[in-house]
Structures are given as C-alpha cells and as structure tokens.
Amino acid sequence: MPNPARQSTRLGADGAQRDGWITWAVVLATALEIIDRDGVHGLSMRRLGHVLGMTLYRHAPNVAALLDGVAEIVLEQLKVDSTDPDWAAQLRTVARDFRRLALHHPQWCRC
C-alpha cells in the first residue's frame, strides 16, 4: 500500500477542495463513498480520478489496491481490548461492531 505521507496531490480545477491537498486517506474515503453509493463494481480508477479531479495511477496501481486500502480503513474501526481476559465478551463486541459496519457500508461487505 502506498505511504500516506507521500501520497498527496494538488486537486484539479474541478476538485471540491481546489486549494487543498489530496491525501491517500482522502482517496480511500472517496472510494468508499462511491462503493457505498454504487457498489464495488461502480468503483473504477477512471471514475474515482474524475471525482477527485486527478489521475490516480501514480498513487494506486489498480482497483485492487484501492479495495485493499478501503478494507483497511473500514476494518480498523474494529477494536479489540487485548487486556480484557473475557475473550467471549470481546468476540461478542467485535461481532456487534462488524454488524454495525456491515449495516453502515452494506455494499463494501459484499466485495
């Protein structure tokens, strides 16, 4: 996965934040928005690049790399307390949290 610190590009003229910088996190958040709205098959390098007003191939080699990054930002929301000795309670918590994520991002969970 690309290094987020090095992945910044100035937005194009049709970008929402014309004076801002696009980070890898912004690219992934925008990809997730497209997936949430149109499904995984609605995401393409061309479409995401158009929304962001930039060419993406310098930042991500393909859609699979974008999907890996999106999976990371979604799944990093799941937290496990490794200091809690009650593993069964932790498992229930993770299952509930994953269900919440699946309800919030149903199109992502289908990929």
> 5 or 97: which carries more pLDDT confidence?
97
SS3 101: helix
Q: In the chain, which ranges are continuous DSSP H helix? A: 24-38, 45-52, 63-75, 87-104, 106-109
Element holding 20 (H helix, E strand): none
Answer yes or no: is pLDDT of 12 > 70. Answer: no
pLDDT in tens, 90-109: 999 999 999 999 999 988 86
> 47 or 56: which carries more pLDDT confidence?
47
Average pLDDT, the chain: 82
What pLDDT, on the 0 to 100 scale, is given for residue 80?
A: 86
Share of the chain above pLDDT 70, in %: 79
> What are the structural domains, with CATH classification, of the chain?
8-109 (1.10.10.60)
What pLDDT, on the 0 to 100 scale, is given for residue 57?
A: 80
Confidence label for 1 from pLDDT (cuts 50, 70 and 90): very low
Q: Is the pTM of this model over 0.85?
A: no
- Give dist(CA 69, CA 26) in Å, integer: 11
Would you give the distance in Å from CA 26 to the centre of its chain? 8
Answer yes or no: is pLDDT of 35 > 90. Answer: yes
SS3 37: helix
